[in-house]
Amino acid sequence: MEAAQTKVRRVLKKKYKVLIGLIILIIINIAGLYTGNIYYQKVCRININPETTGLNYYKSSFNYKRFIQLESYNVSIKSSFGYKLAGTYIFNPQPTNNTVILVHGIGCDRWEAMKYSDMYLDMGFNVLAYDSRDTGSSGGKDITLGFFEKTDLDNIVKWVKWVNPKGIIGVHGESLGAVTALLQAKLDQSKKDVNFYVADCPYSDLWELLNLKLSNDFRPNFQPAAAFILFYANIVALEKSHFSLYAVSPITVISDIETPIMFIHGSNDTFIPASMSLELYLRKKGPKGIYISPGAEHAMSYITNKEEYTAKVKQFLTENKILKN
């Protein structure tokens, strides 16, 4: 009798441990999904302040007087995902079939990227600046940090190719826009519609960047918390936006890109380290260039060193026979 009771107690104790383990696992998953969702909302569902975007906010960053005198029109290009991509196409005062597409960074819109328009208009290009998904006047319900944005950019390139089938096409992206450009470059390798890319302050790998930034937010002993948050943020991203944070990785495709690419990064960039552009540059095969802008912070290389920046881009395009001497 006593032996039987002992056996029963052992079975109950084992079941109790299993139950406690399940309860702990459930609590961990609930906490993980809660914190992961908060982080996902922070990076993919950004509430953009309308007072710090739009033409009126950014018109002092480029030659607005020239812009309003040039012929331009608004375009609406269909995305592969059902929404519309809104943009502004600006004709060069000297008729040309050559066009540069400007791709803005996260939390901005097409007008933020217009600061680069003067440089390309002066070099004889038409300019197309557009709002990426879920920004400005474009559709889309979320930002996917380059994953779906690359396909949107591919549609923009196809439209420009359709408008000017014999023209040169360039893509100049900043931050998230630079990542979008590099990922689209991989898609473009079979068609070679784009003749050159300029990637200003891109990240080489999204997971690495997010892990770095989260780890810096915690004390050394709590750095594993960064991996915990990212693991669950990735689950949320897969469920809500249908993409993986692991999948946004220019460094994994850069060696396959034959198109000329110029990498630019500010030496004082604390948001995305300049080492990421250097890493991409070293991995890239074929025509390439790099310019580390002295003293420039994130996405400020052109503003900080405008003359040198312009000269470096012009030199790169001349060396790759995009521009004539």
Write the pLDDT tens digit of every residue in 50-82. Answer: 777 899 999 999 999 999 999 999 999 999 999
d(CA 301, CA 294): 8
Q: pLDDT exceeding 90 applies to what percent of the chain?
A: 78
Which position has the token pair 């890319």?
197
d(CA 296, CA 270): 10
Which position has the token pair 């309003």?
68
d(CA 144, CA 163): 28
Q: Work out the burial of residue 221: count CB atoms within 10 Å of its CB; fewer than 13 is exposed, 13-18 middle, 19 or more buried.
A: exposed
Query: How many folded domains does the chain comprise?
Result: 1
Phi (first) and psi of residue 129, to 5 degrees: -110, 135
Residue 190 covered by a domain: yes
Residue 19 covered by a domain: no
Q: Is 80 helix (H, G, I), strand (E, B) or coil?
A: coil
pLDDT computed for residue 284 by the predictor: 98
Residue 264 covered by a domain: yes
> Rounded to two decimals, what is the model's pTM?
0.92
Residue 223 covered by a domain: no
Under DSSP, the state recorded for 83 is S
Residue 226 covered by a domain: no
Beta 126-130 vs 84-90: how paired, if at all? Answer: antiparallel
pLDDT computed for residue 223 by the predictor: 66
Could you list the residue range(s) of the whole structural domain that residue 310 is in? 55-205+248-319
d(CA 25, CA 227): 17
Write the pLDDT tens digit of every residue in 171-217. Answer: 999 999 999 999 999 999 999 999 999 999 999 999 999 999 888 77
Quickly state the pLDDT bin for 29 (edges 50, 70, 90). Answer: confident
Q: Work out the burial of residue 271: count CB atoms within 10 Å of its CB; fewer than 13 is exposed, 13-18 middle, 19 or more buried.
A: middle
d(CA 117, CA 88): 11
- Looking up residue 252, the CATH number of its domain turns out to be 3.40.50.1820
Residue 110 covered by a domain: yes
Phi (first) and psi of residue 205, to 5 degrees: -155, 125
Residue 286 covered by a domain: yes
Tell which phi-psi region holds residue 46, choosing left (phi > 0), alpha (psi between -120 and 50) or beta. Answer: beta
Check whether 5 has a pLDDT greater than 60. no
Residue 236 covered by a domain: no
d(CA 264, CA 10): 66
- For residue 152, how many other CB atoms are within 10 A of its CB? 27
d(CA 234, CA 261): 30
